Structure 1
Amino acid sequence: MKIYTKTGDKGMTKLVGGAQVSKDSDRVESYGTVDELNSWVGYAISMLPKEQEEVKAELKQVQQFLFDVGTDLATPVETERPAKLQSESITWLEARIDVYTAEAPDIERFILPGGSPEASMMHVARTIARRAERSIVRLSWTAKLNENVVMFVNRLSDYFYALARTLNVRAKESDVFYERSEKVFHNIKKDGL
C-alpha cells in the first residue's frame, strides 16, 4: 500500500466526503492542530513512568476522543455523516477534571507552567489544546460544526491543567506562582478556571 497520493502536490487536500480544500484552510488548520495535540499526547504517554499506568490509560482514551474531534472537523456537516464525538466525552472530561482538582491544593494566583517533567508535558498539551480551540472557533464562524467539538476542546485544556497540577502533587513538586499575580481565583475547586 502506498501512503502518498500526490493529490497534495498542488496544495490541496480532500475532506471526508470528497470535497477538496486548500491545505491552509481554517478547516485543515483546525484538524491539523488537533492531530499535533494527539501526537504530543502520544509522546507524553511514552515518557510517563510505569507507576503512572492509570494516567497513561486515561490519556489513551483522550487520544481516541481527539481522533473523533479530528474526524468531525474533516467531515463537513453537509455530508450528513453522523458525528463521531458525543456529549458523553465532555461529561467524562468534566468528571476527570473534578477528580484532579480535588487532589491538588486550592490556589488563588496564577502559576507558571512547569514542575515535574510529567506536569510540564501536560502544560504543553494544554497550550496546544488552546491553540486548537482558537482554530476551531475561527472555523466555526464560517462552517457548521458538531457543537460538542468546541465544548470538548475547551474542557480539554482545563483537563490538562488539572492533570498537570496533580502530577506535580504526586511528584512532590510545588507549584511556582507568578510573582506579580493578583488573587484571581476565589476557590479553584468551586469555580473552575
Structure 2
Amino acid sequence: MGYRLSKIYTRTGDAGETGLAGGRRVPKHHPRIEAIGSVDELNSQLGLLLAELHDARSAALDEVTRVLTPIQHRLFDLGGELAMPEYRALNDGEVERLEKAIDVWNEEVGPLENFILPGGSRLVAQTHVCRSLARNAERRCQQLNAEEPLEGCGLRYLNRLSDLLFVAARVIARRQGVKEVLWQAAEKP
C-alpha cells in the first residue's frame, strides 16, 4: 500500500472549509465534519484506554483489551463511511459482535442496582469517558442523519458501543477489585 498523504498541510482549509473524500467541499462546522470529528475524538480516547489497559499488565483485563482493540479499526471504518457516503465498511456482524460481548459481560457483573458514577479507578473513569464520547458521536451522527440520511449500520454500531463501554467499565471495576462509585442523592433540605 503506497503513500496516501504526501503533504500534511495543504492550506485549502484556511478559509473554513474542508474537502470530503469525493472532492465535495463543506464548511468545517458542517454536521458531517462534526460527526467525523466526534468519531475521531472517541477513537483517540479509546486509544488512550487501550494504552492504559496494556500498561496495567493484568491477565484479568486481557479479554477486555481483546474485545476493545478491533473497535479502533471499526471507528476508523465509520469515519471513512462518513467521509465517503457511498462507501460501506461496517456490517451487521460488527454490531452483533458488540452485543455478544455485552451479553457475556452483563452475566458477569449482574444487574445494576443503582446509578453509578465514572470513577473507582483511572481505567474505569477512562472507560466512562469513552462511553460518553460514543454517545456524543451518536448524537452528532443522528444530527447529520436528520439532514443527510445515513445508510449502513453506523448509528446502531455507535449505540451498541456506548452500551458495551458502560458494561466494560463495570467489568474492569470488578476485575480490578474496586468498588463502583454509586450515586448518592442530595439530602433533602
**TM-score normalised over the length of structure 2:** 0.88
The count of aligned residue pairs is 177
The answer to which of 158-167 and 40-49 deviates more is 40-49
Letter in 1 for 2:72: Q
- How far the C-alpha of 1:54 sits from its partner, in A, is 3.2
Find the residue that maps to 2:182 and give its secondary structure: coil
4+ long deviations beyond 3 Å: none
Residue of structure 2 in register with 1:186 after alignment: none
- How far the C-alpha of 1:105 sits from its partner, in A, is 3.0
Q: Deviation per CA, 1:93-138, whole angstroms, max 9, x where unpaired?
A: 0011111111113222211111121111100000001111111111
Paired residue for 1:163, among 163, 168, 183? 168
- How far the C-alpha of 1:176 sits from its partner, in A, is 2.1
- Mapped to 1, the partners of 2:144 and 2:116 lie a distance apart of 31
Residues 67, 101 of structure 2: 8 Å contact kept? no
| 1:66-105 → structure 2 map (5 Å cutoff) | 66-76=75-85, 81-105=86-110
The answer to which of 125-134 and 168-177 deviates more is 168-177
Letter in 1 for 2:69: K
Paired residue for 1:57, among 66, 81, 95? 66
Residues 101, 164 of structure 2: 8 Å contact kept? yes
Name structure 2 gaps, 5 residues minimum.
1-5
The answer to which of 172-181 and 159-168 deviates more is 172-181
| 1:41-190 → structure 2 map (5 Å cutoff) | 41-48=46-53, 49-51=56-58, 52-76=61-85, 81-180=86-185
**TM-score normalised over the length of structure 1:** 0.87
Find the residue that maps to 1:10 and give its secondary structure: coil
Find the residue that maps to 2:147 and give its secondary structure: coil
- How far the C-alpha of 1:180 sits from its partner, in A, is 2.6
Name structure 1 gaps, 5 residues minimum.
182-193
